[in-house]
Amino acid sequence: MSRTRTARWSADDIPDQRGRTAVITGANTGIGFETAKALTLRGATVVLAVRDLDKGKLAADELRTAAPTAQVLVQHLDLSSLASVHAAAKSLRNTHPQVDLLINNAGVMYAPYRTTADGFELHLGTNHLGHFALTALLWDLLPPTPASRVVTVSSAGHRMGGPIDLDDLDWHKRPYNRTAAYGHSKLANLLFTYELQRRLPDGGPLAVAAHPGGADTTGSKAAMSHSSWLTRTAFAAVRPLLLQSPAMGALPILRAATDPQVSGGEYYGPRGFQQSKGHPEAVRSSPQSHDAELQRQLWARSEELTGVTFPI
């Protein structure tokens, strides 16, 4: 058995990334930053695609300190605005002749009801539709090889919220439930990944999904701040048992992005109890995420809503 198939795959198993370019959304903090750091240390040119340029520049400086010869760039990207997605894609196309890794990591979690600049419910608009459009607009920059990857970050939360309603994605017909809205956006990430992979020719880029498990990040803490005092107190007591560091949380994403033995349409997460922590391995997603008709319907709806189509 090769080292990359052991139960303890780590950042040490990442192949040499010199000569490769990785675009990572939401890379200024947490899981995204740790993903960028690991790829930078292995020689990749890394683009931090971030909403807050000042925070992105600080993160880039930190990465250059860790790897003084690294090529680290910052690109403004607000996934909640299709105009920003188009502008970022145009800038990236003007700057980079190819993108070897596109890691769709950024997102919002358990936010109160809000809409994006284009009128979409915030979770779906940011976590899914923004990434759907960005991937389509950059698609032809990915070299036609399995080493090229689109990795979309989902969550164990994709199981929450019950069936997704494609006729009411903006929650106009139902009372808003931010937990369900978040869960549906993470389910959409998987439906998108599986449908994208089905459309790809053999020998071309791979579409892979991953989730970080219970990562102790700023985002998870902010999400918990919306909970009751009792819930926050109880969670604080079990936090060490359920959560792992952002660096560990980044490993499923890194494995999905770089392990030569990964197959398209796989889903990576921690191997421990309830996929909450541990070293990464291929894991199972919900039965709903494998509904091929739902995948096709969401794809068509996403093209309609974003006005963007894939050249495949």
- pLDDT bin (cut points 50, 70, 90) of residue 238 is low
Burial bucket for residue 22 (CB in 10 Å: 0-12, 13-18, 19+):
buried
Mean pLDDT of 169-177: 96
* Lowest-confidence segment of 4-8, 37-41, 127-131, 242-246 by average pLDDT: 4-8
CA dihedral of residues 178, 81, 129, 112 (deg, nearest 10) = 0
Quick check: 127 pLDDT over 60? Answer: yes
* Residues forming the active site: 182
CB contact at 8 A, 104 and 77: no
pLDDT at 236: 46
pLDDT at 3: 41
pTM of the entire predicted model: 0.91
Cα–Cα dist 201/210, whole Å? 21
The domains of the chain, with CATH numbers, are 3-214+247-306 (3.40.50.720)
Share of the chain above pLDDT 90, in %: 85
pLDDT, tens digit, 9 for 90 and up, residues 71-98: 999 999 999 999 999 999 999 999 999 9
Burial bucket for residue 76 (CB in 10 Å: 0-12, 13-18, 19+):
middle
- pLDDT bin (cut points 50, 70, 90) of residue 274 is confident
